[in-house]
Chain A
Amino acid sequence: MKSGENYSYSRRFFLKGIATSLLVIPFLQSCQEKVITLLIRLSGTNHILGHRLRVKNFPKPSSQIHIPYLIVGGGISGLSAARQFSKKGINDFLLIELESHLGGNSSNGENKYSKFPLGAHYLPLPNKQDAALLQFLEEEKIIIGYDSKGFPKFDEEQLTFAPDERLFYKNNWQEGLIPKIGNAAEDDIQFKKFFLKMDTFRTGKGADGKYFFDIPLSLSSSEATIRAFDTITMQQWFEEEGFNSKPLFDYIDYCCRDDFGLGISYVSAWAGIHYFAARKQDSTQDNKDNVLTWPEGNARLAHHLQKYAENKTLKNHLVYEVKSIDGKVVATVFDADKKLTIEIIADRVIMATPQFVNQYLIRNRKIMTQNFHYAPWLLATLVVSDLADNGNYPLCWDNVIYGANGLGYIYDQHQSLQQVQSKKVITYYYSFSSSDVKKSRKDLYQKKSTYWKQLVFDDLKIAHPNIESVTEEINIHLLGHGMISPVPGFIFGKHKKEASQNIEGKIFFAHSDLSGISIFEEAFHQGINIVNQIIDGSTLD
């Protein structure tokens, strides 16, 4: 009969009478509206400094540094190289980073309520044979031991908590990302058939004894029938296999956009299948396909790697020229803080930078770089007072809206041990999937933040109709070159191979774009391999 809220409501009635409260209510409402003025922030990679590479209007070098080894780029491949140098007992190296922080695509932001990713945000459980990665995870106490059967025990707090994924499909949230409830019978048959095929690809090995699809992908079999998938798009493969289910098509398209930035009609079928078949799900006894995640995303992993480059890092430094002179490598570097230029003279240089950057630093790389396509990305982190939806499946770590333009959103506080969050922080992902990534990139930097804000809202509104009125803050992060997109012919093509070749045994290249797939594991192995190659002349870790 009596309740807290109602009680004070009725008391107000008695005290002030109906008329006053009628006057009071709109006043209170207007106060409330005033509090919820939306705060929009715009961030992104330092493309303004980066774009100076094209004109190179930098001062003349005023000093010199001599160092045996130089790493250019502080993303995962550069940091992994730093770690591998340390492992090999080499500590006389320097790492140069353009941004004010390390991590590259594995960076993060933070607000009052949570950390949040500004790029990659999870690491799938590694394959059991990926010893280097397992070792790294063990060093960092992400793997806390091994059970009697030799399976790694992952730290419970770093595995995605349940419930991990949900999909908004036909006006309802459902568990997992694969549309299940509301499909036609034929759709279910095709989904089943598709996953059976992927299972065969996952376990299948070529005549060379290698998995058809593996991570790092350089370990994959060279079986010609499988390699042939790289000559067609995923959509062509889909059609050739006789698939025609719309939900299945959309699901695969979603997966391609999520992992490669470009959708089913642009990416190579080899890459598309790799997404489903390269992870062997064999590092746990029950073959779980769980992932490791953190509020700050893979910035956590970058942070673990950073310690190997401590006191050996120059941030806010832009390398604008690298050339080999008299048996040495000279890197010309602009110090954006002090506004002066220095020359770093090294014996060996690792270019842990993407190829679209390298083409401005090193001569004769423009042509081979033309085939490197990078999809632009947009991330929006929202602070919301409430995340009401139809409530038929609880908020998950990964929340995908079927038929939306974006890729859904991550609940950044999902890994919190706390019972209640006063505000919720979510990060929305959007990749620009089109045949003209350059035009998309132009749009990305030209359109105003209010335009992007509206795009985010319009997409989220499908599942959260009131999202606009509950959002208090929005941080839009633009990534002009979000990730390498493996279009047909790229992964096994000559340009990628050419770009991976070292120059005179002095300038080496390590970056996930040289794998063709932008995932942590590739960058991690690129870093290790390149150091091994420099030191022992070996090619694989």
Chain B
Amino acid sequence: MGKKFLKFEYLLLFAVFTIATCGLVYELVAGTLASYLLGDSVKQFSFIIGVYLFSMGVGSYFSKFLTKNMLNTFVEIEILVGLIGGLSSVVLFMLFESVYSFQFILYLLVFVTGCLVGLEIPLLMNILKDKVEFRDLVSNVFTFDYIGALLASILFPLVLVPQLGIMGTSLFFGMINISIAIALCFLLKSELKKVYLLRAKAIASFVLLFVVYLFSNTILSYSEGKMYGENIIYSNSTQYQRIVLTHNKSDYRLYLNNNLQFSSTDEYRYHEALVHPAMSMAKQVDNVLVLGGGDGLAVREILKYEEVKNVTIVDLDEGMTKLFKTNKILTDFNHNSLNNSKVKVYNQDAFIWAKNSKSKFDVVIIDFPDPSNYSLGKLYSLNFYSTLKGILASDAVVVVQTTSPYFAPKSFWCINKTLMDIFPQVDAYHAYVPSFGEWGFSIAMNGFETNFNKVNRQVEGLRFYNFQFDKFNYFSKDMISKDIEINRLDNQILVRYFDEEWGKL
């Protein structure tokens, strides 16, 4: 009897240890996920820990009402904790897209897990209270509880997340949790009622977690997360491109077909440099055209000028503009610019659209992807710019993002030279954007009514551009390239330059 009891006690204490480890892991998973997805890790961790501890208190309180079949209840709770805690990260990842209810679900899951974990320790103490001296019981239970907590908090950042990933960690600990339940089912079969049913439940739950675990590793593009080296919080393949949003610390990054589109920490530098020189130099800014730029960030800058009457965006990808119209995080970035009443979005091919358009624009902001293939190369061709000229007001200003003058000087000056063949005044400038490196733009004027040193209007509150254009158009020797050809549809020389220059990196 004594030996058997020893076994019983150690078994349950081992369970305490495991429960504590698992409980803390779930808490850490929730905190980490919340700060990954929502940002502001101090706030998220603080809230999660608070809610978690509070809900453990709620669970502890309700433990006194559980008086019948306590051992059975304990095993059942064990299964439930494993299931809910284990699946929590998967559920949260899946639901992130419908971001409005996301926080509610996050805290609901934290609360439920906390309650269940809170039930466990008091319940266990009630089970053991008749079999063990109370002094020993309290000391042992809490000792194992805190050891488990320490182990979890050390393993989590050092081993678990790097090795298993967030999803893998929570699923793995869910399985550990349930395996304790399974072990109890077998070892304490004489103490348990309806042991077969309990066993079946436990095993089924384990199998479910295991299957999801297999999926989390193989199907849920584990490799992609590795490739980005950041946490992917949204990804979607539209008809035209693959959109991936990642989050790391306070930085969100958007990738289109694996090319960085912006980083939330420094995109203001890029977008201010893209938009404000042209906007300040233009004679008029009533009608502004944005080609590409479906993220609405350039539009955000344009709308800072109150005299702007209409902004027309032409972006091929409806998936992109839709995302930046509806996703809460993203509309926070672009200040909901795509939903502004001045803004009209056309999801059409820019070249074809420009050929057919009858409007005239005062400012054109061109933010196409880099000319990395022959399709995109067409949008930087002589023919494209002469088509564009057809929809410009007589003194319109056009600005084009023209890749990096440092990494790709030939490409950069090729676009500049191509513009020179069409427009009477052309200049180039560059800005340092940490996530991109040294980045460049070409700016062209359709007439002579204004020039590059004129500031016809400016706005307050910019963080980067100071309306002194002459501070931006100086190029050091290492960013200059000569003997460049004009990019035409029939030579697509730009794509060759670009391939040659970026291919070297």
Name A's B-contacting residues (CB within 8 A). 1-7, 9-11, 13, 18, 156-157, 159-164, 290, 394, 417-420
A160 to B373 CA separation, bound complex (whole angstroms): 16
B489–A161 touching, CB < 8 Å: yes
Known: A4-B235, A156-B489. A11 touches B381 (CB 8 A): no
Which 5 residue pairs are nearest across A and B when measured between Cβ atoms?
A: A162-B492, A159-B490, A4-B236, A417-B351, A156-B383
Question: Is B502 among interface residues, defined by CB-CB distance under 8 A?
Answer: no
**Residues in chain A near residue B384, CB distance under 8 A:** 417
**Nearest Cβ distance between residue A309 and chain B, in whole angstroms?**
30
A7 to B240 CA separation, bound complex (whole angstroms): 18
Known: A394-B373, A419-B316. A5 touches B492 (CB 8 A): no
Residue of B nearest to A11 (CB): B94
Give 7 A-B contacts (CB < 8 Å), ordered by A residue.
A3-B224, A3-B232, A11-B94, A156-B382, A419-B316, A419-B350, A420-B316
Question: Is B165 among interface residues, defined by CB-CB distance under 8 A?
Answer: yes
Residue of B nearest to A161 (CB): B489
**Nearest Cβ distance between residue B255 and chain A, in whole angstroms?**
12
The contact of A6 among B220, B231, B490, by CB within 8 Å, is B220
A157 to B489 CA separation, bound complex (whole angstroms): 7
Q: Which of B475-505 contact A (CB under 8 A)?
A: 488-493, 495
B220–A394 touching, CB < 8 Å: no
B490–A18 touching, CB < 8 Å: no
Q: Chain B at the A interface: mostly helix, strand, loop or mixed?
A: helix
A1–B93 touching, CB < 8 Å: yes
Q: How many A-B residue pairs have CB under 8 A?
A: 100
Residue of A nearest to B373 (CB): A394
Question: Is B237 among interface residues, defined by CB-CB distance under 8 A?
Answer: yes
**Nearest Cβ distance between residue B488 and chain A, in whole angstroms?**
5
Question: Is B456 among interface residues, defined by CB-CB distance under 8 A?
Answer: no
Name B's A-contacting residues (CB within 8 A). 93-94, 96, 165-167, 211, 215-216, 219-222, 224-225, 231-237, 239-240, 316, 349-352, 355, 373-379, 381-384, 488-493, 495
Residue of B nearest to A160 (CB): B490
A359 to B234 CA separation, bound complex (whole angstroms): 73
Known: A18-B211, A420-B316. A162 touches B93 (CB 8 A): no
B220–A3 touching, CB < 8 Å: yes
Known: A13-B215, A18-B211. A162 touches B352 (CB 8 A): no
B383–A157 touching, CB < 8 Å: yes
A1 to B165 CA separation, bound complex (whole angstroms): 9
Residue of A nearest to B234 (CB): A2
A13 to B378 CA separation, bound complex (whole angstroms): 43
A420–B492 touching, CB < 8 Å: no
**Residues in chain A near residue B489, CB distance under 8 A:** 156-157, 159, 161-162
Interface-central residue, B239, B375, B384, by most chain A CB under 10 Å: B375
Residue of A nearest to B379 (CB): A419
B492–A163 touching, CB < 8 Å: yes
The contact of B492 among A2, A161, A418, by CB within 8 Å, is A161
Interface-central residue, B165, B220, B231, B233, by most chain A CB under 10 Å: B220
The contact of A161 among B219, B352, B490, by CB within 8 Å, is B490
**Residues in chain A near residue B376, CB distance under 8 A:** 419
A7 to B490 CA separation, bound complex (whole angstroms): 42
A419–B351 touching, CB < 8 Å: yes
B165–A10 touching, CB < 8 Å: no
**Residues in chain B near residue A2, CB distance under 8 A:** 93-94, 96, 220-221, 232-235
A163 to B216 CA separation, bound complex (whole angstroms): 42
B352–A5 touching, CB < 8 Å: no
**Residues in chain A near residue B220, CB distance under 8 A:** 1-3, 6, 10
The contact of B374 among A163, A290, A418, by CB within 8 Å, is A163
Interface-central residue, B225, B235, B351, by most chain A CB under 10 Å: B235
A235 to B378 CA separation, bound complex (whole angstroms): 42
B490–A290 touching, CB < 8 Å: yes
A6 to B216 CA separation, bound complex (whole angstroms): 10
A164 to B381 CA separation, bound complex (whole angstroms): 16
A2 to B352 CA separation, bound complex (whole angstroms): 34
B236–A1 touching, CB < 8 Å: no
A160 to B379 CA separation, bound complex (whole angstroms): 16
**Residues in chain A near residue B316, CB distance under 8 A:** 419-420
A418–B352 touching, CB < 8 Å: yes
**Residues in chain A near residue B231, CB distance under 8 A:** 1
**Nearest Cβ distance between residue B240 and chain A, in whole angstroms?**
6
A181 to B75 CA separation, bound complex (whole angstroms): 70
B236–A417 touching, CB < 8 Å: no
Known: A1-B165, A161-B378, A417-B352. A156 touches B490 (CB 8 A): yes
**Nearest Cβ distance between residue A30 and chain B, in whole angstroms?**
23
B374–A162 touching, CB < 8 Å: yes
Residue of A nearest to B368 (CB): A419
**Nearest Cβ distance between residue B23 and chain A, in whole angstroms?**
24
A11 to B379 CA separation, bound complex (whole angstroms): 39
Known: A417-B355, A418-B352. A162 touches B491 (CB 8 A): yes
A328 to B153 CA separation, bound complex (whole angstroms): 108
**Residues in chain A near residue B219, CB distance under 8 A:** 6, 9-10
A156 to B224 CA separation, bound complex (whole angstroms): 41
A1–B225 touching, CB < 8 Å: yes
Residue of A nearest to B496 (CB): A162
A1–B221 touching, CB < 8 Å: yes
Apart from the given pairs A2-B220, A10-B219, A156-B488, 15 other A-B contacts in the complex at a CB distance below 8 Å: A1-B166, A1-B167, A1-B220, A1-B222, A1-B225, A2-B93, A7-B94, A18-B211, A156-B381, A159-B489, A161-B489, A290-B490, A394-B374, A418-B351, A419-B375
A290 to B239 CA separation, bound complex (whole angstroms): 33
**Nearest Cβ distance between residue A293 and chain B, in whole angstroms?**
10
A394 to B373 CA separation, bound complex (whole angstroms): 9
A7 to B166 CA separation, bound complex (whole angstroms): 16
A18 to B232 CA separation, bound complex (whole angstroms): 26
Residue of A nearest to B168 (CB): A1
**Residues in chain A near residue B377, CB distance under 8 A:** 162
**Residues in chain B near residue A417, CB distance under 8 A:** 349, 351-352, 355, 378, 383-384
**Residues in chain A near residue B222, CB distance under 8 A:** 1
A525 to B87 CA separation, bound complex (whole angstroms): 79
A530 to B360 CA separation, bound complex (whole angstroms): 50
A7 to B233 CA separation, bound complex (whole angstroms): 12
**Residues in chain A near residue B350, CB distance under 8 A:** 419
**Residues in chain B near residue A1, CB distance under 8 A:** 93, 165-167, 216, 220-222, 224-225, 231-232
**Residues in chain B near residue A9, CB distance under 8 A:** 219
Interface-central residue, B231, B240, B383, by most chain A CB under 10 Å: B383
Residue of A nearest to B244 (CB): A3
**Residues in chain A near residue B382, CB distance under 8 A:** 156
**Nearest Cβ distance between residue B213 and chain A, in whole angstroms?**
12
**Nearest Cβ distance between residue A338 and chain B, in whole angstroms?**
42
**Nearest Cβ distance between residue A7 and chain B, in whole angstroms?**
7
**Residues in chain B near residue A6, CB distance under 8 A:** 219-221
Residue of A nearest to B235 (CB): A3
**Nearest Cβ distance between residue B8 and chain A, in whole angstroms?**
37
**Nearest Cβ distance between residue A398 and chain B, in whole angstroms?**
14
A9 to B378 CA separation, bound complex (whole angstroms): 36
**Nearest Cβ distance between residue B384 and chain A, in whole angstroms?**
8
The contact of A162 among B167, B236, B490, by CB within 8 Å, is B490
**Residues in chain A near residue B221, CB distance under 8 A:** 1-3, 6
A3 to B97 CA separation, bound complex (whole angstroms): 11
Known: A1-B224, A3-B221. A10 touches B167 (CB 8 A): no
**Residues in chain A near residue B236, CB distance under 8 A:** 3-4
A4 to B93 CA separation, bound complex (whole angstroms): 12
A212 to B234 CA separation, bound complex (whole angstroms): 67
**Residues in chain B near residue A419, CB distance under 8 A:** 240, 316, 349-351, 375-376, 378-379
**Residues in chain B near residue A156, CB distance under 8 A:** 381-383, 488-490
**Nearest Cβ distance between residue A469 and chain B, in whole angstroms?**
21
Residue of B nearest to A159 (CB): B490
Known: A160-B490, A163-B492. A5 touches B237 (CB 8 A): yes
**Residues in chain A near residue B233, CB distance under 8 A:** 2
**Residues in chain A near residue B166, CB distance under 8 A:** 1
A160 to B495 CA separation, bound complex (whole angstroms): 16
